[in-house]
Amino acid sequence: MNARGVFLHARDLDTDFTAGWDRLVAARGVYADCFDTYTWAASVMHADPVAARRIRIAAVLDEPTGKPVSLLALEDLDGRGRFASFAEDRPRSRVVAERASHDELGALADQLAASGVRDLRLRRMPSRDPATHRLLGALRRAGYRVHARERSSDMLADVTDGWAGHRARFASFHAQARRLHRKLARRGDVALTAYTRPGEADTGFAAYAALFPRSWKGPLTERTRTERRELVRRTAENGWLRLYVLRVDGRPAATYLWFRVGAVALWHSTAYDEEFAGLGVGNLAMWQAHEHILVADPTDPPTLVDLLPTTTSQKLRLAPERPPLLDIEAVRDRPLTAAALPVRALARTARASAAGRIRARRRGRTTASTGGTKA
């Protein structure tokens, strides 16, 4: 492979690199993830100057074109060789690679070592992604001692049989949604609006954000509002945005934010007006959003629905595939520290989990209730 490794700060990211980063993610099919993209990372950095200062991108570039063929988005924790997955409250993280080959990931691991990364923590990496396991092998070959443990799981549903198959697979949820629709129709017209294009992004986001103060979540914090508005705008420009607002008699009652990246339909967040809670608007909006995102592009429909980690009663009904996520710690040239990895990783995971829940509540990222179920 004719390639070279780089270790980049935010100031080093030019438009060719960032466009190549997003294309690399989108080309990964069922392993594509909005939270792996530059689009998402840029939204976080836009809202958080500290994150912008701390981000580091380990990447391997194709020498002739300069395009990234593999990369890992990290956060510099202390300036002394300790790094972790970028953005601690990120739902999940992973290595992004064009082919996830041994050469690509071996070169990436070598670049990490050459850049002085001595202590590396990778949070909630998908065990279903072959690139995860190949990266661990590459890290070991580069001289790292690696420990991995299961932490939570993905919540997924295969949809290779399209909307008709998905509807039949979850027939009870479909029947419930029909009953809820009839109940809500007694109050007036029930309509789902999909905001997907750049010219619609701000209007859709305004309706989305306005529902939070009327929900159990409360208003979005200023930082979260800034980050999500930027994410909605950027994903709309990429053609990834799927923002849904369910209206009852013209009044916004529930909202779901989704993205379509690669072969994946990915749910992000929800809110609904508590006045409508007893009428099940959350479940109805969720199911209608499923239908729209699975049928909107008949020539290239998604083949995977990704409801993100965390277990809720709604997800337990709609996400039967639950492969584990892995917390990984890798240490290089520190044998005593490496020998203590299992104990230390367990303690850090517990602390990170508690701290993450607190930060999530503060930033309005808590799990959403959906009027009879949770989402």
Let me know whether 126 and 260 are in one domain.
no
| Residue 234 resides in a domain | yes
pLDDT at 233 over 60: yes
- Classify residue 374: in a domain, yes or no: no
- What mean pLDDT is predicted for residues 337-350? 41
Confidence of residue 374 (pLDDT cuts 50, 70, 90): very low
Q: Are residues 232 and 336 in the same domain?
A: no
Q: 50-56 long-range CB contacts below 8 Å, 24 or more apart?
A: 51/75, 51/86, 51/87, 52/10, 53/10, 54/86, 55/9, 55/10, 55/86, 56/7, 56/8, 56/9, 56/83, 56/115
User: Based on the domain organization, do 108 and 179 belong to the same domain?
Assistant: no
CA distance 57 to 12: 9
Helix (H) / strand (E) element for 269: namely: strand 264-272
Indicate whether 228 and 112 sit together in one domain.
no
Q: Is 129 helix (H, G, I), strand (E, B) or coil?
A: coil
Residues 46 and 70 in one domain: yes
The predicted structure's pLDDT at residue 317: 96
Q: 124: exposed, middle or buried (C-beta count within 10 Å: 0-12, 13-18, 19+)?
A: buried
- Residue 229 shares a structural domain with residue 146: no
pLDDT value of residue 334: 55
pTM of the entire structure?
0.88
Over residues 111-118, mean pLDDT: 97
Q: Is residue 369 part of a domain?
A: no
8 A C-beta contact, residue 71 and residue 24: yes
- Judge whether 320 lies within some domain: no
Q: Is the pLDDT of residue 366 over 70?
A: no
| 62 and 175 within one domain | no
Residue 165 confidence (pLDDT): 96
- Burial (CB count <10 Å: 0-12, 13-18, 19+), residue 303: middle
Residue 323 has pLDDT above 90, yes or no: yes
Residue 352 — pLDDT band, cuts 50, 70, 90? very low
Tokens of 155: 């919540």
Same domain as 264, residue 165:
yes
Please choose, from the candidates 306, 194, 289, 292, the residue with its C-alpha nearest in 3D space to the C-alpha of residue 241: 194
374 against 291, higher pLDDT = 291
d(CA 349, CA 89): 13
pLDDT at 360: 44
pLDDT for position 335: 45
- Residue 313, domain member (yes or no): no
Contact criterion met (CB below 8 Å) for 42 and 234: yes
Q: Residue 361: its pLDDT value, please? A: 46
Q: How many domains does the chain fold into?
A: 2
* Judgement on whether residues 146 and 34 belong to the same structural domain of the protein: yes
Amino acid in the structure at residue 117? V
What is the pLDDT averaged over residues 23-48?
A: 98
State the average pLDDT over residues 295-303: 96
Confidence grade of residue 339 (pLDDT, cut at 50, 70, 90): very low
* Percent above pLDDT 90 for the chain: 82
φ/ψ bin of 249: left (φ > 0), alpha (ψ from -120 to 50), beta (otherwise): left
Q: Which pLDDT value is given to residue 1?
A: 62
Judgement on whether residues 12 and 127 belong to the same structural domain of the protein: yes
Give 248's contacts (C-beta < 8 A, 6+ positions apart). 184, 187, 188, 189, 190, 276, 281
pLDDT at position 346: 38
3-class DSSP assignment, residue 267: strand
Q: Confirm whether 372 is domain-assigned.
A: no
Round to whole Å and give the CA distance between 152 and 308: 11
pLDDT at 2 over 90: no
For residue 117, tell me if it sits in a domain.
Answer: yes
What confidence tens digit (pLDDT) does each residue in 268-282 have?
999 999 998 888 999
Q: Checking DSSP bridges between strand 264-272 and strand 82-85, what pairing results, if any?
A: unpaired
Q: Are residues 161 and 133 in the same domain?
A: no
Give yes or no for residue 331 having a pLDDT over 50: yes
The enclosing domain of 204 has a CATH number of: 3.40.630.30
* C-alpha distances out from residue 268 to 45, 134, 289, Å: 18, 28, 12
Is residue 89 located within the same domain as residue 160? no
Tens-place pLDDT, residues 186-229: 999 999 999 999 999 999 999 999 999 999 999 999 999 999 99
Q: List pLDDT tens digits, range 251-262.
A: 999 999 999 999
Domain that holds residue 248: 156-306
pLDDT on residue 338? 41
Mean pLDDT for 142-148 is 97
